[in-house]
Amino acid sequence: MGHKHSVYDSDAHFSIDSITRKIKNESSKKTTLVQGDHNSERCTFDVPRFIEGHDMMQCSEIEVHYDNFEAGTGNVSSDYYEVKDKQISPDDENVVIFSWLIIDTATKYAGTLEFSIKFKCVEDGVSDYEWNTLTNTDLNVGKGKNNSGVVVEREPNVVDQWKEEIFGDAENAVANINLKEQEALEAVQAEGAAQLEQIQVAGENIVNASAIAEQNAKNVLANAIKGHLNGEVVTTDDVSPVEHEMVVKVKNKNMIGPFKETKEFIRDGVTLSVEKDGQTIRLNGTCGVVAGGRNVFNEIAKPILLEKGKTYTLSSEMVSGVTDGTYAIYINSFREYEAIASVTNADDGRIKTFVPSKTVECFVGVNIAVNTTYEDVVIRYQLEEGNTATEYTPYIDPATVNVTAGGETYIPEPDGTVKGISSTVLADGISTDTEGVVIDCEYNVDTKLYIDKKFEELKNAILSES
């Protein structure tokens, strides 16, 4: 029987300094583990959420790499631990916390335990971001005793077993499919239409491989293929028949949130004020010979996270007022002040579509032109995902939105997260009662439908070569 109850850490956290990259735990008195400890001690860490503009919650993998050195010898036990409980701190949304559950490879020898932590973003097997800490040497392993003389056969680690099954059975099945596809294509190219019988035999082999892959998917990959939906109403017919709680979040169509407070600025003779709605800008006055509006919103702007490779559209509209010149609404990176996109009242349609070259935190600002007069010029603006500018919608507090799914009503958390929605309702759809927000939903895909679709594509590819 496996170990069923959890191990909790009530000790002081290790803190990671994003500048020095040191791992410290000056307030903790627990610096010694005991030889042979296994799944009985947990060390918890906290790290700033944003490091050099990168959101550490986006890291797909966090690894604790460690070496257990035996005192007085050259013996060392080296291994690494994959973090499984990364989350935003309930005490501070700008802090990420996670833990390391100590296993016996870290306490094999009485001596010292040194470790460092690696944060990675991995997509399609390729790591495009890695951030590492310095090595911590504060932990020691005290000498313990084990006189039982009994060899214990430990149950396999569930995650390792899951990986082995996926990369064993599933990859073998896919490799077999690829092999049969190649055989069929070569037969067609070499013999032409006269080899139809060989194609049919190859097709039967593919069907057999499909049955194997389908069974493997049902048993092993019930939650391995993720689907993603985004829209005012989301629904699909490819959800997994295995019931699960989906990751559902309410997001604003207009990504530019309200500023923290109403403010007024004066730049080179022009007064710029943020209206009571926290989003509309009003300009009054005549600009002198020096251009104004330098990052005028930086003091009060709420950071916006733009993702690498995703398409966004920035648009603005002059609601009222008169001006004999131009103004510009722009988006700059929050830390480097690098220009990301801008749109002026002189642009055709006052719309700009762009794709960031990197994931970056940004803020919204305004520039005014020299020798230009603004008479009660009221401007509103919108930033949204996609390549089309839609009708303006103000920022909406997600906690004020009602979400309907399966005949039930759900109230989002302050960050827009909606908990407790089962996958069984997705075929009928998830919606809200509020215009200007969208539903973002991640769910497990039906592996049978997924495999059937891939085999249909494979069959069409074979036939197109004949």
pLDDT digits (tens, 9 = 90+) for 315-329: 988 989 999 888 888
Asked if 146 contacts 139 with a C-beta cutoff of 8 angstroms, the reply is no
Asked if 62 contacts 121 with a C-beta cutoff of 8 angstroms, the reply is no
Give the separation between CA 204 and CA 198, rounded to whole angstroms. Answer: 10
Give strand pairing partners of 313. Answer: 353, 384
Give yes or no for residue 113 having a pLDDT over 80. yes
- What is the signed CA dihedral for 217, 126, 162, 219, rounded to 10 degrees? 0
113 lies in the same domain as 166 = no
Give the separation between CA 110 and CA 103, rounded to whole angstroms. Answer: 14
Asked if 248 contacts 403 with a C-beta cutoff of 8 angstroms, the reply is yes
The SS3 assignment for 214 reads helix
363 lies in the same domain as 273 = yes
Instruction: Give me the percent of the chain exceeding a pLDDT of 90.
Output: 38
Residue 335 has a CB neighbour count (10 Å cut-off) of 13
Tokens of 255: 């990504």
41 lies in the same domain as 116 = yes
291 lies in the same domain as 381 = yes
23 lies in the same domain as 95 = yes
Give the separation between CA 286 and CA 309, rounded to whole angstroms. Answer: 40
Residue 54 has a CB neighbour count (10 Å cut-off) of 19
What is the rounded average pLDDT of the residues 308-313? Answer: 92
pLDDT digits (tens, 9 = 90+) for 181-216: 677 666 656 665 555 666 666 666 666 666 555 555
pLDDT digits (tens, 9 = 90+) for 20-53: 999 998 777 778 899 999 998 999 999 999 999 9
End of a domain among 111, 142, 173?
142
129 lies in the same domain as 179 = no
114 lies in the same domain as 36 = yes
Number of domains comprising the chain: 4
- The answer as to whether 233 is a domain residue is yes
- The answer as to whether 259 is a domain residue is no
End of a domain among 142, 173, 199?
142
381 pLDDT tier (thresholds 50, 70, 90): confident
299 lies in the same domain as 359 = yes
Which amino acid, one-letter code, is at 428?
Answer: D
What is the rounded average pLDDT of the residues 127-155? Answer: 81
- The answer as to whether 9 is a domain residue is no
129 lies in the same domain as 168 = no
Domain around 175: 158-223+450-465
**Burial (CB count within 10 angstroms: exposed 0-12, middle 13-18, buried 19+), residue 453:** exposed
296 lies in the same domain as 214 = no
Give the separation between CA 356 and CA 306, rounded to whole angstroms. Answer: 7
Strands 111-123 and 61-70: antiparallel
Give strand pairing partners of 343. Answer: 329
343 lies in the same domain as 372 = yes
- The answer as to whether 174 is a domain residue is yes
CA-based torsion, 245, 246, 249, 253: positive or negative: negative
35 lies in the same domain as 135 = yes
- The answer as to whether 410 is a domain residue is yes
CATH number at residue 300: 2.60.120
99 pLDDT tier (thresholds 50, 70, 90): very high
From the list 110, 111, 103, 67, the residue with the least C-alpha distance to 84 is: 103
- The answer as to whether 392 is a domain residue is no
Residues listed for the chain: 466
The SS3 assignment for 166 reads helix
Helices (DSSP H) in 259-416: which residue ranges? none
Most confident of 11-15, 83-87, 384-388: 83-87
Residue 232 has a CB neighbour count (10 Å cut-off) of 13
Half-sphere exposure of 149 (CA within 13 A, CB side): 0
**In Å, how far are 219, 237, 249 from 240, measured between CA atoms?**
12, 9, 19
Give yes or no for residue 13 having a pLDDT over 50. yes
CATH number at residue 138: 2.60.40
pLDDT digits (tens, 9 = 90+) for 287-298: 875 544 444 444
From the list 220, 221, 223, 264, the residue with the least C-alpha distance to 243 is: 223
Give yes or no for residue 84 having a pLDDT over 70. yes
- The answer as to whether 7 is a domain residue is no
- The answer as to whether 1 is a domain residue is no
Strands 360-368 and 304-306: antiparallel
pLDDT the model gives residue 325 = 85
